[in-house]
Amino acid sequence: MRRRGRAQKKRSPGGAHYPWRLPEVPFGPTQLLSEDQSQMLIESALDVLQDTGMRFLEGESRKLLKSAGAQVEEAEQLVRFDRHMVREHLALAPSTFDLRARNPERNLIIGGNRMVFASIGGPAFCSDLDRGRRPGTYQELCDYLRLVQSLDVLHQEGGGPFEPMDLPPESRHLDLYLAQMTLLDKNAQAYPLGRARTLDCLEMTALALGTDRDGLLEQPAVLGIINTNSPRQLDSAMTEAVLELAASGQVCCITPFTLAGSMSPATLAGTLVQQTAEVLAVVTLAQAVRPGAPVMYGHFASNVDMQSGAPALGTPEYAKLALASGQIARALGLPWRSSNTTTSNCVDAQAAYEGQMSLWACMLGHANLVNHAAGWLEGGLTASFEKLIVDAEMLQMMSEVLQPIRLEEDELAAEAIAEVPPGGHHFGTEHTLERFRTAFYPTMLSSRQNFESWTEQGGQDAARRANGIWKRMLADFEPPPIDPAIKEALIDYTQRRKRDIETRH
Amino acid sequence: MRRRGRAQKKRSPGGAHYPWRLPEVPFGPTQLLSEDQSQMLIESALDVLQDTGMRFLEGESRKLLKSAGAQVEEAEQLVRFDRHMVREHLALAPSTFDLRARNPERNLIIGGNRMVFASIGGPAFCSDLDRGRRPGTYQELCDYLRLVQSLDVLHQEGGGPFEPMDLPPESRHLDLYLAQMTLLDKNAQAYPLGRARTLDCLEMTALALGTDRDGLLEQPAVLGIINTNSPRQLDSAMTEAVLELAASGQVCCITPFTLAGSMSPATLAGTLVQQTAEVLAVVTLAQAVRPGAPVMYGHFASNVDMQSGAPALGTPEYAKLALASGQIARALGLPWRSSNTTTSNCVDAQAAYEGQMSLWACMLGHANLVNHAAGWLEGGLTASFEKLIVDAEMLQMMSEVLQPIRLEEDELAAEAIAEVPPGGHHFGTEHTLERFRTAFYPTMLSSRQNFESWTEQGGQDAARRANGIWKRMLADFEPPPIDPAIKEALIDYTQRRKRDIETRH
């Protein structure tokens, strides 16, 4: 599963050398709640679905849910779910599944104690230290995707790092898909805003994999993030995506955006109840569309800032909500998703400690998908080129923490310990020389220079060094191989669809 | 246990409002090793002590160990320990103990699942954003101590944040002790370099607590960090401190400085073996001095940088070594110590992510003492005023993660969920208004401003904001009350001892 030797040699510095590897957490998930408490939260969520219900703005979904046994009030577009109906549909969802990538060595496994790290998806802006924060272009988006491809610690592209504002909104998803499928050989998330964009992703993914829609059905390759409009509402665009993804056997990652105190109650327990209710409502819809359709429990619960009412991310509450969400998802039998979040506006200490607060919770809770794992700034409004590098270093370190301590006899080093005299040093021992170069994680970004050398060389902080790293990485980029016929087919598809869209407008 | 209302009102912003609280980890420690594996590492350490031994440079300690049953080679100053002898002495050490503070509300409990956060101790330099990195003065040291007192998330002072270079080295420990005991009412660590400095700490601590050496013996109040000169050596100054602290029933926190690849083998397993051997050798000495003397297993193992051979801290290896050290310490029945470390030269993203890497390992491993929990920069060469604030924020967040999720019925918020319409918001509900101000951790340092407001207000990163916070905190400082007679006795003692020291020189 390591990247090919040739590409590895040509690439520098550091980042691309980190091996492709799906991290597995070797110890059990952190139990913040007792099993009874998880069950109580789930039962409370089922109460909400039964007594209060959820609004589905799209009509077809209400019909589907009605024929599946839900109570629908058409005037209010409100759907109430019997708890047994929810449980029955939930039981159809797989607890683990695979996701194909264009390069089979980069196929993903979603579930169990495995983690997948996805790059940032969705911001309005991009930023770097040279040009600051700005609306991004398609050229810049392609550069960002090249970096995502180069960083082997990132397992999945996150559905477009930012909006390419130089392209028309009706068709820019086609340009995104084309870039995802030619600049990367990793799995890439969909841009599931409405039926057409979702169908385009399904068609182009089938083309990229040299298969058809039936082939996709057998082996899923498309994952879409489905956000509810919390509280208790699913809009039409998202519903259309659920209907198409589920019908095609592709993955709905159902993620309420519940900020305790604004989009959900100002308590962690109430927020967990509401989040779980919303997830279960959409799980039920997906299973009503197609029994066994792969779905995920999405966690994006945090809290508002108490002084200002602004969103607060990477907080202690966020970490606790993530750990509890993991427990609830496991109790439901669903793989789950969390994120690497911060509200910081620059790549500083806050960006890093809020990111770590998020990432440790992901790891300890066995988050199966860490969305926005690298690049996110400003509460998700901006994709930063430097933050991408800082986050990749943090992910590589996290991945390294999960490697077991080796305990073979020569690792215990009894002879080396006896050989070095008291107060001496191990630098030159045979035992050290044999393993020195590969013994420890080789840093990509972190500096171990002493203060004097560091100052002489410009006293660059981590963000400034990251700026140099992504530029070198970009200069060294080699696109992954692609069958020219497939590339042509993808280009043809986007051109044809753009003409359709232009004609319709 | 909250700080007094009056002081609280006068202090701003944020930091001093965080309540005094000894964190308890509500979930079990992370198991990186199986129990068999921990025992194997311990047995390997006992092999080292039995077959290879440890050098004690100080003569009295070798005599003591010989009469306790060890084999001593005087020519090489080498002591070999029978494993049963080590086990018997180890069994005398308490697994948990209390540490008195001048303010009884700030007494500490060391052991079990409780964590104590100590401020930085020992650097050569201090730094802040205004004046850069420099040798510090006594006045600056006193300012640093005022901040340590003001931050209630810090439970113990770490034995002097940096060297006051404007004072003579022979007597500056007396000035440090006076500052610790008058500017703080928290427990403060000793400066245990040699017999005289240790005895001065014991005498002055007894004065500060209004007791005598017998009183100290009943209830320990002094903790000294004892560093071995790894590999396998204890120098005379440290040995004198062990002899005095143990004889007085005070705490030896025995901490080898084992950097894998230089002061210990280039493997994690070998480093754990050597660290454990060194700790057990000094534990045996302390118990030979006084059975039942409180001791701690100190972890300071990390690795060298593979490119340069420089120390690397806050690394993935550091985190794994910390978790494994905790397991070994628990298997030995000893409370244990770790640290919050980084090699960064400035208060940037690296300083934060390496710090978090360290702190999460401390928390997950139930580190009973987190040394250098706040302020450390440059691999421990510098105490930073801004890093103190950044770390305090991280510790407050960590402490908050350990607060359980409340699950009472009104926290589940069924009525609030039903009350807010689909797509509405929870801002104005009674449920939210009732708990809004106290529901979530109120940040001290982190910004939740949007990009525009943040930019308008100067676009300050976390380090720059921390600069403003420590200055306001210092301006608001009120010294804790002290009995004037005790203060006078402490001043008298330092003046008398300084005269003694001057006469002798």
pLDDT in tens, chain B (505 residues): 333 333 333 334 444 579 999 999 999 999 999 999 999 999 999 999 999 999 999 999 999 999 999 999 999 999 999 999 999 999 999 999 999 999 999 999 999 999 999 999 999 999 999 999 999 999 999 999 999 999 999 999 999 999 999 999 999 999 999 999 999 999 999 999 999 999 999 999 999 999 999 999 999 999 999 999 999 999 999 999 999 999 999 999 999 999 999 999 999 999 999 999 999 999 999 999 999 999 999 999 999 998 888 999 999 999 999 999 999 999 999 999 999 999 999 999 999 999 999 999 999 999 999 999 999 999 999 999 999 999 999 999 999 999 999 999 999 999 999 999 999 999 989 999 999 888 999 999 999 999 999 999 999 999 999 999 999 999 999 999 999 999 999 999 999 999 999 998 6
**A135 beta partners:** A125
Q: Which pair of structure tokens corresponds to residue A234?
A: 């699913």
Q: Do B417 and A54 touch (CB under 8 A)?
A: no
Residue A21 has a pLDDT of 95
- What are the phi and psi torsion angles at B357 (to 5°)? -55, -45
A324 close to B (CB below 8 A) = yes
- Give the closest-approach CA distance of A376 to chain B in angstroms: 14
Distance of CA A413 to the CA centre of its chain: 40
CA distance A488 to B295: 71
Which position has the token pair 């398609």?
A: A138
A448 close to B (CB below 8 A) = yes
> Which segments of chain A have a pLDDT < 70?
1-16, 505
Chains A, B: CB contacts within 8 A come to 392
Residue B5 has a pLDDT of 37
Q: Which residues are within 8 A (CB) of B188 and not within 5 positions of it... i.e. 6 or more apart?
A: B156, B157, B158, B159, B177, B180, B181
Contacts by residues B427-434 (CB-CB < 8 Å, ≥ 24 positions apart): B427/A261, B427/A262, B427/A309, B429/A265, B431/A265, B431/A266, B431/A267, B431/A270, B432/A261, B432/A265, B432/A266
CA distance B339 to B337: 7
CA distance B433 to B413: 13
CA distance B254 to B335: 11
Contacts by residues A8-12 (CB-CB < 8 Å, ≥ 24 positions apart): A10/A476, A10/A478, A11/A150, A11/A473, A11/A476, A11/A478, A12/A472, A12/A473, A12/A476
- Give the closest-approach CA distance of A193 to chain B in angstroms: 18
B324 close to A (CB below 8 A) = yes
CA distance A106 to A20: 8
Under a CB-based contact definition with an 8 Å cutoff, are residues B64 and B70 in contact? Answer: no
Under a CB-based contact definition with an 8 Å cutoff, are residues A257 and A264 in contact? Answer: no
Under a CB-based contact definition with an 8 Å cutoff, are residues B246 and B293 in contact? Answer: yes
Residues of A in contact with B48 (CB under 8 A): 414, 417-418
**How many other C-beta atoms lie within 10 A of the C-beta of residue A303?**
27
Q: What is the DSSP string of B373-416?
A: EESEEGGGTEEEHHHHHHHHHHHHHHHHHTSPPP--HHHH-HHH
A441 close to B (CB below 8 A) = yes
Find the angle CA(B366)-CA(B369)-CA(B374) to the nearest 5 degrees.
110
Under a CB-based contact definition with an 8 Å cutoff, are residues B439 and A262 in contact? Answer: no
Under a CB-based contact definition with an 8 Å cutoff, are residues A151 and A16 in contact? Answer: yes
Under a CB-based contact definition with an 8 Å cutoff, are residues B284 and B89 in contact? Answer: yes
Which of A115, A161, A101 is CA-nearest to residue A395?
Answer: A115
Q: Which residue of A440, A451, A464 to mutate against B (max B Cβ within 10 Å)?
A: A440
Which of A1, A20, A23, A19 is CA-nearest to residue A366?
Answer: A23
CA atoms within 13 A on the CB side of B345: 20
Which of A365, A156, A359 is CA-nearest to residue A251?
Answer: A156
B163 close to A (CB below 8 A) = no
Of B52, B317, B403, nearest to A418 by CB-CB distance is B52
Element (H or E) spanning B297, and its range?
A: strand B295-298
**B34 beta partners:** none
Q: What is the DSSP string of A351-416?
A: HHHHHHHHHHHHHHTT-SEEEEEESEEGGGTEEEHHHHHHHHHHHHHHHHHTSPPP--HHHH-HHH
CA distance B382 to B368: 24
Q: Which pair of structure tokens corresponds to residue B412?
A: 């589940």
Ranges of H-type helices in A91-171: 138-150
Under a CB-based contact definition with an 8 Å cutoff, are residues B337 and B357 in contact? Answer: no
Q: Which pair of structure tokens corresponds to residue A9?
A: 């040699």
Q: Is B81 exposed, middle or buried (0-12, 13-18, 19+ CB in 10 A)?
A: buried
Element (H or E) spanning A151, and its range?
A: none
**A99 beta partners:** A108
CA distance B159 to B161: 7
Could you tell me how many residues make up chain B?
A: 505
**In A, residues 108-147, which contact B (CB 8 Å cutoff)?**
133
Q: Rounded to 10 degrees, what is the CA torsion of B196, B198, B203, B205?
A: 150
Q: Which residues are within 8 A (CB) of A428 and not within 5 positions of it... i.e. 6 or more apart?
A: none
SS3 A210: coil
B373 close to A (CB below 8 A) = no
Q: Which pair of structure tokens corresponds to residue B293?
A: 């003397």
Under a CB-based contact definition with an 8 Å cutoff, are residues A349 and B462 in contact? Answer: yes
CA distance B208 to B218: 16
- What are the phi and psi torsion angles at A337 (to 5°)? -125, 140
Residues of A in contact with B425 (CB under 8 A): 231, 262-263
Which of B463, B478, B442 is CA-nearest to residue B18?
Answer: B442
- β-strand pairing of A311-312 with A71-73: unpaired
- Put the strands of the sheet holding A187-188 in their side by side order: A187-188, A156-157, A116-119, A369-374, A336-339, A295-298, A251-256, A223-228
CA distance A29 to B442: 28
Under a CB-based contact definition with an 8 Å cutoff, are residues A61 and A155 in contact? Answer: no
Find the angle CA(A206)-CA(A208)-CA(A211) to the nearest 5 degrees.
40
- Give the closest-approach CA distance of A189 to chain B in angstroms: 26
**How many other C-beta atoms lie within 10 A of the C-beta of residue A415?**
16
What are the E-state strand segments in A71-181? 71-73, 78-80, 97-99, 108-110, 116-119, 125-128, 132-135, 156-157
Q: Rounded to 10 degrees, what is the CA torsion of B403, B405, B409, B415?
A: 120
Q: Is the peptide bond before B231 cis (omega within 30 degrees of 0)?
A: yes
**A136 beta partners:** A164
Q: Do B440 and A260 touch (CB under 8 A)?
A: yes
CA distance B350 to A462: 6
Q: Which pair of structure tokens corresponds to residue A109?
A: 């496994």
B72 close to A (CB below 8 A) = no
A422 close to B (CB below 8 A) = yes
Residue A505 has a pLDDT of 66
Q: Do B448 and A308 touch (CB under 8 A)?
A: yes
Of B306, B440, B446, nearest to A303 by CB-CB distance is B440
Give, rounded to a whole angstrom, the gap between the first and last alpha carbons of chain A.
Answer: 46
CA distance B253 to A364: 29
**How many other C-beta atoms lie within 10 A of the C-beta of residue A35?**
11
- What are the phi and psi torsion angles at A424 (to 5°)? -80, -155
